């Protein structure tokens, strides 16, 4: 599994570990990626996503995975979530008609 977020594209950061003697050694800070099954009300099924732990709070504030994907730009999503975003839009258009 890649260490990259499927929703926001968050990736590892690189920097220096600095010792007491001020030596600098390159290191990497990984993202806290979790695989979750989130329920989509519009689709009526679960959607499997890998996202950082702090993104769960963002999804709650947005009102769930459906509202987040509808208000999110497609540039920041990967291909599978773009497809799911389109399915949610289609289902909501059918429900409104």
DSSP conformation letters of 9-76 = ----EEEEEE-TT--EEEEEE---EEEEEEEETTTTEEEEEEEEHHHHHHHHHHTSHHHHHHHS-GGG
* Whether residue 63 has pLDDT greater than 80: yes
3-state secondary structure of 90: helix
- Whether the full predicted model's pTM is greater than 0.75, yes or no, is yes
The pLDDT, as a whole number, for residue 2 is 61
Tokens (6 digits) for 60:
């709650």
Q: What is the CA radius of gyration of the chain?
A: 18
Give residue 46's pLDDT: 95
> What values do phi and psi take at 55, rounded to 5?
-75, -25
């Amino acid at each position: 599994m890649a260490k990259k977020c499927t929703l926001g594209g968050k990736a590892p950061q690189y920097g220096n570990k600095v010792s007491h003697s001020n030596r600098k050694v390159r290191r990497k800070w990984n993202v806290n990626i979790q695989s979750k099954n989130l329920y989509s009300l519009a689709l009526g099924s679960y959607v499997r996503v890998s996202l950082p732990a702090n993104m769960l709070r963002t999804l709650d504030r947005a009102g769930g995975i459906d509202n987040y994907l509808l208000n999110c730009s497609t540039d920041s999503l990967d291909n599978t979530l773009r497809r799911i975003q389109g399915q949610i839009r289609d289902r909501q258009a059918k429900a409104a008609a």
